[in-house]
Chain A
Amino acid sequence: MKRVALSGNYAVAYAVKMADVDVIAAYPITPQTPIVEKLSEFVADGLLDAEYINVESEHSALSACIGSSLTGARTFTATSSQGLAYMHEVLFMASSLRTSIVMANVNRALSHPLNIWNDHSDAMAERDVGWIQFWVNSVQEAFDATIQAFKIAEEVLLPVMINLDGFILSHINEVLILPDEELVREFIPSKPLFNRLSPKLAYTIGVVGPPEYYYEMRYQIIDAIERSRKNINEVNREFGELFGRTYGNISTYMMEDADYALITMGAVSSTAKIVVDSLRKEGEKVGLISIRCFRPFPKNDIIEVFEDVKSIGVLDRALTPGGIGHPLFTEIVTTLYDSSKIIPVQSFVGGLGGRDITIDDFKQMYKIIKDVGLSGRRKPCIYIGLRE
């Protein structure tokens, strides 16, 4: 174990190396590229014994990963933005064929206009593809989530996507605890996975599913991802025992007695925490919730912490044009529908295409959340920092 300063991208690369992956298939795209550059170096230097496939596109990257995972190899890829969008149809195939692929998605805006900076549009557009989705808040979490992802993916036979914010996490150095490789190996032993493409078995995979069967086949994804909740919690507990750090499906800050809560995802929560601290000093009972596990969505965890809250704000960093609400807002409102309480929820959008969300922006959001709580009436979605 050692303490080192690493970027979020390099933290993921180190986790993948320590997981002793067998196959990497990846295509460069900003801001993900340093992950696959580092992995290429590990392979070139003989520090990681893996086949590195320099594919000609993200579509082929994920296609190759599916072939590899079904052959029983521990398989990794990484992408961002347009790359993830280009993978779209293959994402469905990766989950429905029950692969154990782990992918880092370094969140970036989608075109047009072309924008390499951070928001959550890319992963939110892939909500419904049947992948487990983690969102991390720090470099340490990026490392830990990657290690956990392999174990979860291989147990539940579903692919896992780890989302980390482009540049904000991917390119920023933070100090993290890098465990010994032996400890990681103890947690996820380097073993061959189930080879479903063996001449010994002669399975037919990727069949035509006619109407009499398609429905049941698709339902298996619902069943698998629902059951994965148990594995996610158990893997997290085991991880804690071995490494001394655990993460919930959500992380909360000052929520024990909070009247007003803001819900965020990703690295922006660290700015929000600073604002919570300063507002608390002013006597405001504010708190923060950050969603770590977006799929499967941690409904029960969220309902629990909402027990005594007067109003809630949801910060989306992606859009659902023409929808009732933006993606995270919709999930939260739907969650509350199943709770016994009626709590007003204010929708915010901010930080699109790398636009900063400042301390003042968060202060404004908390002020609005409080007003909504006092009046009991929410406003239409507020686009924070949008120039008129």
Chain B
Amino acid sequence: MFKTIKDLPRDEYLAPGHRLCAGCTVGTAVRQILKASGGNVVVVTATSCLEVSTSYFPQTAWRVPWIHLGFENSAAVAAGIESALKALRKKGKSNEDFHVMVISGDGGTFDIGIQALSGALERGHDLLYICYDNEAYMNTGIQRSSATPYAAATTTSPPGARSIGQRTHKKDLVGIAIAHGIPYAATACPSYPIDLMNKVRKGLDVEGPSLLHVLTPCTTGWRFDPSLGIEIGRLAVLTGLWPLYEVDRGVTRLTVQVPKREPVRKYLELQGRFKHISENEINKIQEIADKNAEKFGLGPIKE
């Protein structure tokens, strides 16, 4: 267990100089994830911002073994690695022992990769699947995914005379994962590094599949100042829009309590993607936060 920032390992497994945008919180999240892993891990990543920004030949930002195959199959690749290691160890052909981890985006998880993810979770492979969620296809230029929140503007859910932006609501990824009967799933955000890293540790240490859903605010796609990424992540949590919780062997527990919630307006008004929305939409988004508060036991809104 990591208790304070002083407990964090000094080892760095994601080298500086990668090509993620200035102010991108994905690099921050991956740095925390890999620190928590201790480095004895094979990482699989789907085609994504993270993939193109860290593996541009002849450079690499990865100091751990890393593989990328396609957009939709990171969970299947991880399943193959885990099974191979298991078989080779069982047959006395290998004495290697490492964790297998996926770090893929919301498009590669919620949309095109959900079939492979469901298969891997159902079969019970011993792996940790981490979805870093910047709430749209940012790598291809901000198109909506099924992780894009209600009313957000993207290039394929633009607001207009007949559109309020994204008309659907975000899928419940942790709910989907837990429905497979897996032992551990949780939400996280790099604005809360201790919480995130302890959840990575739990996910790795538990036997069987585990899933971590990490919110990673995107300066480019959400249209906020690059200095605000961590602040926006914090506001997502403090408004109740991104409750930090875990489901550990069937027991749901809030891991970061918010005694006094911020109104969602405070979160929304910092982001260009919500610039077009009216009071009506703000109220609807407030309702989402209120429902979360009720479900997970968050405090009331600040007066």
Listed in ascending order, the chain A residues whose CB lies under 8 Å from chain B are 22-23, 25, 49-51, 53-57, 59-61, 63-73, 75, 89-90, 93, 97, 190-192, 195, 197-210, 213, 217
Which residues of B (96-131) have their CB < 8 Å from a CB of A? 96, 98, 115-116, 118-119, 122-123
Residue of B nearest to A202 (CB): B65
| Contact call B57/A67, Cβ cutoff below 8 A | no
Report whether A68 and B65 are in contact in the complex, using a CB–CB cutoff of 8 Å: no
Interface size class of B (residues with CB under 8 A): 35 or more
A64 touches B88 (CB 8 A): no
Contact B119 A65 (CB under 8 A): no
Residues of B within 8 A of A70 (CB): 67, 81
Closest to B118 in A: A56
CB–CB B68/A65 < 8 A: no
The CA-CA distance from A72 to B98 in the complex, in Å, is: 14
Contact A63 B77 (CB under 8 A): yes
The answer to whether B85 and A71 touch across the interface, beta carbons within 8 angstroms, is: yes
Q: Contact mask B60-86 → A, CB, 8 Å, 1/0?
A: 101111111110110111111101111
A206 and B69 form a contact (CB under 8 A): yes
Interface centre among A25, A68, A190, A201 (most CB of B within 10 A): A68
Partner of B88, one of A56, A73, A205, A213: A73
On chain A, the residues within 8 Å of B282 by CB distance are none
- B163 interface hit (Cβ, 8 Å): no
Contacts of B66 in A (CB 8 A): 202-205
By the criterion CB–CB under 8 Å, are A207 and B60 in contact? yes
Inside 8 A of A56's CB, which chain B residues have their CB? 115-116, 118-119, 122
- A-chain residues with CB within 8 Å of residue B91 when the two chains form the complex: 22, 49, 190
Chain A, Cβ-Cβ closest to B19: A208
- 6 closest residue pairs by CB, A with B: A67-B80, A64-B80, A56-B119, A60-B76, A73-B84, A71-B84
Q: Assess the B79–A55 pair: CB atoms within 8 A.
A: yes
Contact between A206 and B68, CB atoms less than 8 A apart: yes
B83 engages A51 (CB within 8 Å): yes
Q: A54-B123, A68-B84, A70-B67 are in contact. Are A60 and B57 (CB under 8 A)?
A: no
Which residues of A sit under 8 angstroms from B77, Cβ to Cβ? 63-64, 66-67
Tell me which of B44, B88, B91 has the highest count of chain A C-beta atoms within 10 A of its own C-beta: B88
User: Contact: A23 with B84, CB < 8 Å?
Assistant: yes
CB distance A71 to B80 under 8 Å?
Answer: yes
User: Given the complex of chains A and B, what is the CA–CA distance between A73 and B89 in angstroms?
Assistant: 10
A179 to chain B, nearest CB (A): 22
Question: How far apart sit A49 and B91, CA to CA, in the bound complex (Å)?
Answer: 7
